[in-house]
A and B are shown apart, each in its own frame.
Chain A
Amino acid sequence: MVLCAELAGPPAHPGEEAGTLRAVGLAGGGMNRMKVDEEEYWHSSKCKAFTFDDDDDELSQLKESKRAVNSLREIVDDDDDLEKFSWSGEPVGSISWSIKETASSSSNTPEGRDSGLQKGSSSHPALPKQASSYSISSFFKGRNKLGSFQSLSDALSDTGVKSYAPELRRPKADYKDYSSDWSPKDTVRRMQRGKICSLERFRSLREKLELLDEAVSVHDGNVITAILIFLKRTLKREILFQELEVRQVALRHLIHFLKETGEQKLFLDLLRFLDRTEEVALSQYREHLSIQDAEKRREFLKGCIRLPFSSEDAVHVQDHYTLLERQIIIEANDRHLEAAGQSEIFRKYPRKASILNMPLVTTLFYSCFYHYTEGEGTFSSPTNLKKTFKIPDKQYVLTALAARAKLRAWHDVDALFTTKNWLGYTKKRAPIGFHRVVEILQRNSAPVQVLQEYVRLVEDVETRLNLAMKYKCHDVVVDQIRWKN
């Protein structure tokens, strides 16, 4: 009978509850088993299979403890060449032992491979819920087999999935002087060297803080993080936050840890507690980047507006929301227009990309390109954008110029710069230097007559002459020379 154990729910994060265990894919009539039989089944293998209900079976735990303690004496012997024996009496590392281990671990995947049959699903919680898992027996429950250092994570948790690679001889140093009596200082020293430590005996707040302070003083990031994980699980949140507020180094580590593991909610709670409101706002705002759907992103941004940003940033976030809102409308509209095939501009210049999530200036360019003639009333008109987002003249003129030049709409370009003064005469003015205008026109292959006209308007004489020669505006050159003479 092949049983695949699969955890429902998202991959577990430290401290979070994992989903319920569900037996899936039982072959051969397993589907009809009664629930009570499932319990029996789970407990029937030679080696204790992994379940969440481990802690209910205290008797078996005790038995294991006894067995483990007895075998401990053998292992802690000074004789290096000792043999280790598993629960079933086989010498560890022997072939028969590894076969047995392999067979019994069929409830998990064989050979030390944790069940990861479904991509991304974890098969066990990072940390167990029960409190009594740090007895000596926990070390022998299908521990990861190592030649040397234990993982620090093993120091904390252990009733994770069992792995049954043939055990290599564990160096005696790992178990030397094992006692349950270490001070915080000794515990930290041991953890630094990667040795096994049980943290559960630190029950009082004072002891726990002593442990943390000791870790901080030795500057070992891994140890600090390990202890923080322990504290996070065993302390009330408010107390933890309070204590960390005055412990900057440990606080930093916790923040880093929460960020890395993606525990966004707890991270934001911590920041709020510390009154780092702007950081809360920015951190929440950052999340919008992972929302792909435009409508959902818009909703999210709407919610961000009232967050405690600095006053300048608040305006920008508001603008971001407004812009996306407009873009969604424009996009929907234009897609319609394009599909209908009636609009000339869309026929001649089919859109290469969606306008969603583009920056404001790009949107303005788009609007000057496709919707130039629209009045201020529509969302897609350039003048509406200018007004709504308070786009400065300089930026507006530049963008409009670029768009109209690309379309070779020279009359529109003219109109941009023409103003009637009080006498009724038209005059050309630009909030940007005319040399820039010439540059942009030239880049869009404007005909010489058009170029010429603007070269003539360049204020600086030398630049004017240079540009005239560069772009072969002979009339201007001639005029220049004539004027000089």
Chain B
Amino acid sequence: MFTLKAGRLPPADVKNIIFLVRPRLELMDIIAENVLSEDRVRSPLRDFHILFVPRRSLLCEQRLKDQGVLGSFIHREQYSLDLIPFDGDLLSMESESAFKECYLENDQTSLYQAAKGLMTLQALYGTIPQIFGKGDCARHVANMMIRMKREFPGGQNSIFPIFDTLLLLDRNVDLLSPLATQLTYEGLIDEIYGIQNTYVKLPPEKFAPKKQGEGGKDLPTEPKKLQLNSAEELYAEIRDKNFNAVGSVLSKKAKIISAAFEERHHAKTVGEIKQFVSQLPHMQAARSSLANHTSIAELIKDITTSEDFFDNLTVEQEFMSGIDTDKVNNYTEDCIAQKHPLIKILRLVCLQSVCNSGLKQKVLDHYKREILQTYGYEHILTLNNLEKAGLLKLQTSSRNNYPTIRKTMRLWMDDVNEQNPNDISYVYSGYAPLSVRLAQLLARPGWRSIEEVLKMLPGPHFEERQQLPTGLQKKRQQGENRVTLVFFLGGVTYAEIAALRFLSQMEDGGTEYVIATTKLINGTNWIKSLMEKLEPPPF
């Protein structure tokens, strides 16, 4: 299997070539180039096919036609891969532009895909009897689901429902969580290095095997690529912990593994030795896993102990706890003056805006001017997008709703226990993600208790029930947990996922959560998706 690249196709002795692509116009141009540069005379004639994932697109086929290659394809089909499993409890559509399309362009294509994905899930795991939602997009998805069910009644299956509840949440109900810096182990890896499809690329120096007597020559230059998922025992244990709690877990693990290796001295009988040897592979895997994560933790620690990280985090936390959100912030200004990366600045000003329900005219103008003068006037376009998305806007009413929301939903918890948390606020060391609070309160005691606050958040909230065929009504056993599928429309962060997992394993929590989303995001790539693609300046 080859990655799609411009130019010629890689040589291979095959008859059929299948292009498996997302329906994006740029990709069509690359494909056209591939097809056109096929050496007609030399190689045996090959057949081309194209599979669009998840759906065919008229515009893409039109583009292929314009490029003059549409006729070269014998099969043009679609492969309806809507939701991709990322882990045992995590599904994602990996649609990068979903947030932009839904909230900036009012384009509901990804919502349609979400609805289709949910229909597939229901076909596999049974109709979900209860649907709750908050937000305009949530409403659309629910409507589409209901309509789809009506139109294909044949899909009435006899599968015992696994999910009790579906919770659809618009990203713009909680704009705060992606903007703040995540502080879980996995969240920080994503923030600093970026996790792509469960893989992360890390600077190789710390991963070079240290040999005795070699003075650092032959250092690897290729970044170290690691896969991160729950199949790795140690990772599953530490990924959702607050980063400050990871160190102690790693040192404990180190002691256990050392002790295990020491056992070999105690093995006297052949039987004991045999047992030890049989466990060796597992122990070696554990040791290698420990080595990797110790290195990663060191890399992260270098960043989190830096002055800049600390200053940034301090300002974020001030905003989130409601301090000084209505004036121009000195740290932000300093960062602009020192020309820190633009996305960092945008995250800070947007965070301030959200925590203040919008900025006053003078403050907003001040920030805008400084940004445009320092980074270029063309960023008017990006600032405009941010405004449209509700991230950086003018304060319309004189009332700031955020303090009310913060107090009612207990979004800021002063006494956070990072080592042994008792509340979801540990994932941001103080801030409890609003989206997860909504899920938490839905389970207990229900949304009726927060009607007032819900009205302050954008979009309608609703409840729908889907009929289950008789006999499939779920009877819950004593102590058995409900299963709720939470679908984030517009993206979800690893910190929020960690918070939901925390709720799942809480004793007497009563609910287990499965998470689905349009895309796994962090603040940086999320803001980036809202920025205008600017051409590099001509030189």
When the two chains form their complex, are residues B71 and A163 in contact, meaning their CB atoms are under 8 A apart? yes
When the two chains form their complex, are residues B74 and A145 in contact, meaning their CB atoms are under 8 A apart? yes
When the two chains form their complex, are residues A222 and B65 in contact, meaning their CB atoms are under 8 A apart? no
8 A Cβ contacts from A413-440 to B: 436
When the two chains form their complex, are residues B105 and A289 in contact, meaning their CB atoms are under 8 A apart? no
When the two chains form their complex, are residues A286 and B59 in contact, meaning their CB atoms are under 8 A apart? no
Most buried by B among A145, A146, A317, A359: A359
In the bound complex, residues from chain A placing their C-beta under 8 Å from that of B67 are 116, 122
In the bound complex, residues from chain A placing their C-beta under 8 Å from that of B376 are 357-359
* Given A123-B68, A222-B57, also A354-B539 (CB < 8 A): yes
Q: How far is the CA of A12 from the CA of B370 in the complex (A)?
A: 43
Contact among A151, A219, A260 with B108 in the assembled complex (CB-CB below 8 Å)? A219
8 A Cβ contacts from A227-255 to B: 229, 248-249, 252-253, 255
A17 at the interface (CB under 8 A from B): no
Q: How far is the CB of B138 from chain A (nearest CB, A)?
A: 16
When the two chains form their complex, are residues A260 and B381 in contact, meaning their CB atoms are under 8 A apart? no
Q: How far is the CA of A82 from the CA of B149 in the complex (A)?
A: 38
A353 at the interface (CB under 8 A from B): yes
When the two chains form their complex, are residues B112 and A357 in contact, meaning their CB atoms are under 8 A apart? no
Q: How far is the CA of A228 from the CA of B381 in the complex (A)?
A: 28
In the bound complex, residues from chain B placing their C-beta under 8 Å from that of A122 are 65-68
When the two chains form their complex, are residues A313 and B66 in contact, meaning their CB atoms are under 8 A apart? no
- Contact mask B110-128 → A, CB, 8 Å, 1/0? 0010000000000000000
- Contact mask A280-314 → B, CB, 8 Å, 1/0? 00100110111011100000000000000000110
In the bound complex, residues from chain B placing their C-beta under 8 Å from that of A225 are 58-59
When the two chains form their complex, are residues B61 and A153 in contact, meaning their CB atoms are under 8 A apart? yes
Q: How far is the CA of A101 from the CA of B324 in the complex (A)?
A: 76
Q: How far is the CA of A286 from the CA of B106 in the complex (A)?
A: 20
Q: How far is the CB of A285 from chain B (nearest CB, A)?
A: 7
In the bound complex, residues from chain A placing their C-beta under 8 Å from that of B381 are 282, 285-286
- Contact mask B54-90 → A, CB, 8 Å, 1/0? 0111110110011111111111110000000000000
8 A Cβ contacts from B1-43 to A: 25, 32, 35-36, 40
When the two chains form their complex, are residues A316 and B71 in contact, meaning their CB atoms are under 8 A apart? no
A452 at the interface (CB under 8 A from B): no
**Using a Cβ cutoff of 8 Å, how many contacts connect chains A and B?**
167
Q: How far is the CA of A252 from the CA of B104 in the complex (A)?
A: 11
* Given A255-B105, A260-B25, A361-B373, also A113-B71 (CB < 8 A): yes
Q: How far is the CA of A123 from the CA of B69 in the complex (A)?
A: 10
When the two chains form their complex, are residues B380 and A313 in contact, meaning their CB atoms are under 8 A apart? yes
B377 at the interface (CB under 8 A from A): yes
Q: How far is the CA of A119 from the CA of B56 in the complex (A)?
A: 25
B372 at the interface (CB under 8 A from A): yes
A168 at the interface (CB under 8 A from B): yes
When the two chains form their complex, are residues A260 and B112 in contact, meaning their CB atoms are under 8 A apart? no
Contact among A249, A316, A436 with B377 in the assembled complex (CB-CB below 8 Å)? A316
When the two chains form their complex, are residues B74 and A168 in contact, meaning their CB atoms are under 8 A apart? yes
A457 at the interface (CB under 8 A from B): no
In the bound complex, residues from chain B placing their C-beta under 8 Å from that of A162 are 71
8 A Cβ contacts from A102-159 to B: 111-116, 119, 122-123, 126, 144-149, 151-153
In the bound complex, residues from chain B placing their C-beta under 8 Å from that of A319 are 372, 377
In the bound complex, residues from chain B placing their C-beta under 8 Å from that of A293 are 538
Q: How far is the CA of A25 from the CA of B184 in the complex (A)?
A: 67
Among the 9-residue stretches B186-194, B416-424, B529-537, the one with 4 or more Cβ atoms under 8 Å from chain A is B529-537
In the bound complex, residues from chain A placing their C-beta under 8 Å from that of B55 are 221-222
Tell me the nearest residue of chain A to B66, going by C-beta.
A122
In the bound complex, residues from chain B placing their C-beta under 8 Å from that of A226 are 58
Contact among A161, A255, A260 with B71 in the assembled complex (CB-CB below 8 Å)? A161
B251 at the interface (CB under 8 A from A): no
Q: How far is the CB of A317 from chain B (nearest CB, A)?
A: 7
* Given A113-B68, A359-B376, also A261-B59 (CB < 8 A): yes
Q: How far is the CB of A344 from chain B (nearest CB, A)?
A: 25
Contact among B107, B108, B337, B373 with A359 in the assembled complex (CB-CB below 8 Å)? B373
When the two chains form their complex, are residues B105 and A256 in contact, meaning their CB atoms are under 8 A apart? yes
A451 at the interface (CB under 8 A from B): no
A69 at the interface (CB under 8 A from B): no
When the two chains form their complex, are residues A14 and B112 in contact, meaning their CB atoms are under 8 A apart? no
Most buried by A among B57, B76, B108, B334: B76
Contact among A146, A160, A323 with B76 in the assembled complex (CB-CB below 8 Å)? A146
* Given A282-B380, A285-B381, also A219-B69 (CB < 8 A): no
When the two chains form their complex, are residues B76 and A398 in contact, meaning their CB atoms are under 8 A apart? no
Most buried by A among B59, B68, B532: B68
When the two chains form their complex, are residues B62 and A14 in contact, meaning their CB atoms are under 8 A apart? yes
In the bound complex, residues from chain B placing their C-beta under 8 Å from that of A294 are 538
In the bound complex, residues from chain B placing their C-beta under 8 Å from that of A394 are 333, 337
Contact among B66, B147, B374 with A11 in the assembled complex (CB-CB below 8 Å)? B66
A360 at the interface (CB under 8 A from B): yes
Q: How far is the CA of A363 from the CA of B75 in the complex (A)?
A: 55
When the two chains form their complex, are residues B71 and A114 in contact, meaning their CB atoms are under 8 A apart? yes
Q: How far is the CB of B536 from chain A (nearest CB, A)?
A: 10
When the two chains form their complex, are residues A360 and B74 in contact, meaning their CB atoms are under 8 A apart? no
A395 at the interface (CB under 8 A from B): yes
When the two chains form their complex, are residues A252 and B377 in contact, meaning their CB atoms are under 8 A apart? no
A389 at the interface (CB under 8 A from B): yes
A271 at the interface (CB under 8 A from B): no
Q: How far is the CA of A146 from the CA of B76 in the complex (A)?
A: 8
* Given A290-B535, A320-B377, also A113-B69 (CB < 8 A): yes
B109 at the interface (CB under 8 A from A): yes
- Contact mask B165-186 → A, CB, 8 Å, 1/0? 0000000000000000000000
In the bound complex, residues from chain A placing their C-beta under 8 Å from that of B375 are 359
A257 at the interface (CB under 8 A from B): yes
When the two chains form their complex, are residues A148 and B112 in contact, meaning their CB atoms are under 8 A apart? no
When the two chains form their complex, are residues B365 and A289 in contact, meaning their CB atoms are under 8 A apart? no
Q: How far is the CB of A300 from chain B (nearest CB, A)?
A: 13
Q: How far is the CA of A424 from the CA of B143 in the complex (A)?
A: 78
Q: How far is the CA of A219 from the CA of B334 in the complex (A)?
A: 48
A391 at the interface (CB under 8 A from B): yes
In the bound complex, residues from chain B placing their C-beta under 8 Å from that of A398 are 337
Q: How far is the CB of B401 from chain A (nearest CB, A)?
A: 25
Contact among A13, A151, A168, A253 with B70 in the assembled complex (CB-CB below 8 Å)? A151
Contact among A222, A255, A289, A361 with B58 in the assembled complex (CB-CB below 8 Å)? A222
When the two chains form their complex, are residues A248 and B106 in contact, meaning their CB atoms are under 8 A apart? yes
Q: How far is the CB of A83 from chain B (nearest CB, A)?
A: 19
Tell me the nearest residue of chain A to B376, going by C-beta.
A359
Q: How far is the CB of B270 from chain A (nearest CB, A)?
A: 64
A403 at the interface (CB under 8 A from B): no
Q: How far is the CB of B8 from chain A (nearest CB, A)?
A: 14
A330 at the interface (CB under 8 A from B): no
Contact among B35, B112, B369 with A221 in the assembled complex (CB-CB below 8 Å)? B112
When the two chains form their complex, are residues B59 and A316 in contact, meaning their CB atoms are under 8 A apart? no
Contact among B72, B105, B377 with A112 in the assembled complex (CB-CB below 8 Å)? B72
Q: How far is the CA of A225 from the CA of B539 in the complex (A)?
A: 40
A356 at the interface (CB under 8 A from B): yes
Tell me the nearest residue of chain B to A324, going by C-beta.
B377
In the bound complex, residues from chain A placing their C-beta under 8 Å from that of B59 are 225, 257, 260-261
- Contact mask A343-364 → B, CB, 8 Å, 1/0? 0000000000110111111000
Q: How far is the CB of A90 from chain B (nearest CB, A)?
A: 20
Q: How far is the CB of B376 from chain A (nearest CB, A)?
A: 4
8 A Cβ contacts from A317-341 to B: 317, 319-320, 323
In the bound complex, residues from chain B placing their C-beta under 8 Å from that of A147 are 74-75
When the two chains form their complex, are residues B537 and A356 in contact, meaning their CB atoms are under 8 A apart? yes
In the bound complex, residues from chain A placing their C-beta under 8 Å from that of B105 are 252, 255-256
Tell me the nearest residue of chain B to A391, going by C-beta.
B373
When the two chains form their complex, are residues A153 and B62 in contact, meaning their CB atoms are under 8 A apart? yes
When the two chains form their complex, are residues B107 and A312 in contact, meaning their CB atoms are under 8 A apart? no
8 A Cβ contacts from A4-40 to B: 11-14
> Apart from A162-B71, A219-B112, what are 4 other A-B pairs with CB-CB below 8 Å?
A168-B74, A257-B59, A286-B532, A356-B537
Considering the complex of A and B, which 3 residue pairs feature the smallest CB-CB distances, nearest first? A163-B71, A114-B68, A116-B68
Q: List 7 A-B contacts (CB under 8 A).
A: A168-B74, A219-B112, A222-B58, A252-B106, A294-B538, A353-B539, A357-B376
